[in-house]
Structure 1
Amino acid sequence: MVLTVDVGNTNIVLGGFEDDKLLFVTRLCTDKYKMPDEYAISFKGVIEFHGYSVDKFDGAIISSVVPPLLPTLKKAISSLLGCKVFTVSPGTKTGLNIRIDNPGILGADLVCSAVAAMNRYKMPCIIVDLGTATKFSVLDKDKFFLGVSIMPGVNISLDALSKNTAQLPHIEFENAHTVIGTNSIDSMRSGIVFGTASMIDGMIERLNAEIGQEATVVVTGGIAENIVPHCKSKINTNPNLVLYGLLDIYYKNTKTK
């Protein structure tokens, strides 16, 4: 088995693979102040909760957009699983040809999602990642990574609404059922759900125009399945795209597949 770890600003997503089969996915809160042993205990608990033993893992790979956590998590996983732990960094073999101004600064999560997409979807491709930030990545017909558009994510937008207005409450993200809200909470949910869906449709149209042809679109992230049904564009959903990219990169660097 291979343990894939996607470290984001809000959540750490763990995925356990047997060959190409994703056996389990679980999420933990990202905590920069936890020690390696604390993370090791948490990871052991969730792995065993899903019915698997830590001694069944042959390797692990980490993607992180929180640099201070990387040494901590690498130590935690290495001590827990007793195996080599790979990380996605500028020196890692990915097979991705990056055409941005400084390829070394591209986020590891964006690298992983792009690798997964180029191995699974028709090119050109637009990848929409609905995470802490909302990110649109573009791969051209030759699988070159052209660049990214970044904007505030759904939860950041909700937090900003409540913090910067006197009468709007703090709410958790939930699906909306009507565009026209009849109270503050439903109005906020309508705006965030249908507004995000409309923004995705609009960005897809603009990106297609810029690359000069219609691209395959895949949306990933934990809330993808809540937003995509409200979009008008033809869209594929893959909430665990980064994990599949991590698996692809792991195999590329170990040559075990």
Structure 2
Amino acid sequence: MLLAVDAGNTNVVFAVHDGIEWRGRWRIATRADRTSDEYAVWLLTLFQHTGLKATDITRCAIGTVVPAALYNLRRLSREWFDCEPLIARAPLDWGFQIKVDQPEEVGADRLLNSLAAHTKYRGPLVVIDFGTATTFDVVDGDGAYLGGVIAPGINLSIEALHRAAARLPRIGIGRPQAVIGRSTVPAMQSGIYWGYIGMIEGIVARIRAEYDAPMKVVATGGLAPLFAEGTNVIELSDPDITLEGLRLLAERNRAPILSRGVNRD
């Protein structure tokens, strides 16, 4: 079975695929100083609830945008699952061209999203990921990655608004019933929600105009369904795109060999 690890700026998601389906998904807050043993105790306890064992894992694939977290995730794979992890990086066989000036700077999550979205939905398409940052990634009809747009994430914007304005409270994100807020909190919720809807519609329209062809729009991330409710621009919502990208990447690339007794970090 494959252990897929998607380490983002906010959460690390672990998932197990048995070759047919995903057997479980679990998330934990991202902390660069969390040790491999801490991950293992937490994860193996959750394994028990789905009938999984450490020996069921034969491969591990890691995608991370947090370099400081990689060391302990590698150790988790090596010491607890006895396998050398495949690290999602630009030099691997992705099955498509990465047509940007500096491919090594592209976040692993953006390439993984592009791989899975093109495989499942075909292109041309735009993949919107509602994470710590909100990203728009452009994939052409052949699956090539063309670049994209990076904007502040919703929660970052909420926190910035609260911190910068002394009288404004910290709010939760939700779809407001009306655009015109009758008090401070509804007005803030409207600004965040409909402001992001406007940004989504505006950026997608400009991408389509620049690409000069029809493009599907796929959204992923925990807030994707919420924002898909507010606009017809988002055609598909898929919460598992990044994990599916890790699975597909592991299928395309040979498993690294675990070398014992050698410092591999």
Q: TM-score, normalised by structure 2?
A: 0.91
Task: Report the CA distance between 1:4 and its aligned residue.
Answer: 0.8
- Aligned pair count reads 255
CA contact (8 A) 1:96 1:111 kept: no
Structure 1 gap segments, 5+ residues each? none
Q: Distance in 2 between matches of 1:51 and 1:196?
A: 41
Task: Report the CA distance between 1:130 and its aligned residue.
Answer: 0.6
CA contact (8 A) 1:40 1:77 kept: no
Counterpart in the other structure of 2:126:
126
Q: Distance in 1 between matches of 2:44 and 2:187?
A: 41
Structure 2 matches for 1:90-105, cutoff 5 A? Answer: 90-105=90-105
Counterpart in the other structure of 2:69:
69
Q: Distance in 1 between matches of 2:224 and 2:98?
A: 25
Q: Which amino acid aligns with 2:103?
A: P
Q: Distance in 2 between matches of 1:157 and 1:165?
A: 12
Q: Distance in 2 between matches of 1:46 and 1:31?
A: 19
Q: TM-score, normalised by structure 1?
A: 0.93
Q: Which amino acid aligns with 1:112?
A: L
CA contact (8 A) 2:219 2:234 kept: no
Structure 2 gap segments, 5+ residues each? 256-265
> SS state of the match for residue 5, structure 2?
strand
Moved more, 123-132 or 78-87: 78-87
Structure 2 matches for 1:126-145, cutoff 5 A? Answer: 126-145=126-145
Moved more, 6-15 or 173-182: 173-182
Alpha carbons of structure 1 residues 20 and 191: separation in structure 2 relative to 1, 3 Å: farther
Moved more, 69-78 or 46-55: 46-55
Q: Which amino acid aligns with 2:18?
A: E
Q: Distance in 1 between matches of 2:57 and 2:11?
A: 22
Q: Distance in 2 between matches of 1:138 and 1:20?
A: 29
Task: Report the CA distance between 1:186 and its aligned residue.
Answer: 2.1
Q: Does 1:210 align with 2:207?
A: no
The percentage of aligned residue pairs carrying the same residue is 32
Task: Report the CA distance between 1:170 and its aligned residue.
Answer: 1.3
Alpha carbons of structure 1 residues 176 and 74: separation in structure 2 relative to 1, 3 Å: farther
Task: Report the CA distance between 1:190 and its aligned residue.
Answer: 2.0
Q: Does 1:10 align with 2:14?
A: no
Q: Does 1:237 align with 2:237?
A: yes
